[in-house]
Structure 1
Amino acid sequence: MNRTQIARTIAVVLSLCSVLLGTGNVAADLPHHKGGPGARVGIQDEPRDLLSQLDGTWNVQQRMWTGPDSDPVTLPAATAHRRFVHSSYVEEKMELAKGVEGDSFTRSATVSWNVVTQTYEYFSIDSRLPQMMTYPTATEHAGSLWFTLREPFVAPTWGNDSDVPFTARLRLQPGAHRQVVKLYLKRLSAEPTEEFVAFEYIYTHAR
């Protein structure tokens, strides 16, 4: 190995150590499983049951707000196809509903249960604003999962403004036949600002 390779190897080892030891030896709390190193670690019953509720095809009604005091704008209806992959995580692909007029788009999302950190995770990217939105942890409150964006993001245009920075939280209300996802934004500014609902997605089971 040359010095560059050695440095990279050390960085990888230190990163793994921080994951396994930095949260108080969470490796000891991993679910026990049989098999060799390639065996899949299963998730617990409760998160598996919640994630399984997301599976299927859903009709989606979309609305958006541009600020705390703005009126909602109804967006064209969409269809979301969700798949519970190997009973491990949910992947979603949302697109404009068939027969509906509007600009085509694709919104992809992933919802998972991290067996190491013992928390839900959420990731999304939307062709209408192609930035990777990563929500690494979640809290549960009043039957909802609340995800916090890892770091602020910048909207290229927002209303009459450009390059607007925001922090974001996402609320997921699961359910067997109806689910709601809301995106809350708070503008970063030298002046105090108010968090507001920016997007709302209401899911109803199609089949």
Structure 2
Amino acid sequence: MVNYALLTYVPGLQRENLIGRPYGVLAEACGISGADTLIMGALQGETHRSVIGEYGDRTFAVNAFPLHSLQGGISGAVSISLEITELLKLRKEIGNMERLSLVGQMAASITHEIRNPMAVIRVFIQLLQERSGTAGHPYYPIIIDELDRENAIIDDFLSLAQNRIVERKQTDINAIVRTLEPLFSAEANYRGISWNTAWTTTYRCCC
């Protein structure tokens, strides 16, 4: 006996070409040695359960059992194969999702550790700014703004890790770029680069 499901995996193979013929014909059509198949082992009394095997780009869980006659001898064997290709892919994807979830939880914990010293730095910068009065160093507001920006980035990251909804809002890109200009100037000065800016057009975006 052979079911039609098996024939779908072996192109060109017909049921009428198999019934009544040696099992080796099927094995040869599949490109394997009949003597090495589990069903041949089952004819010798062996029992095989969920043995993983590959055929082409597909993966199967193969079972093979001997059939016993009323007298106790082996009268034949049966082999049942279940394709588990998609199941293994799904299991792998679930495993990846679990690992990503774990990484997200770890990252969320790390960001909390980063946020704490940032908060302390911000407080001391504010104190220095207040004590320096109106003639204080112009870099104090820049440092505070950058700390706030980093804190906002951490909030966005945590929203992804915790599946929170991030609301979009209209933002002036020119204003953002202008706030970054002192940072670019400091980096350019560090690298010995001279540069200049020109503001001509106003753009807005939602982010």
TM-score (norm 1): 0.21
Q: Which protein has the bigger strand share?
A: 1
Q: Which protein has the bigger helix share?
A: 2
When Rg is computed on C-alpha atoms for both structures, the one with the higher figure is 2
TM-score (norm 2): 0.21
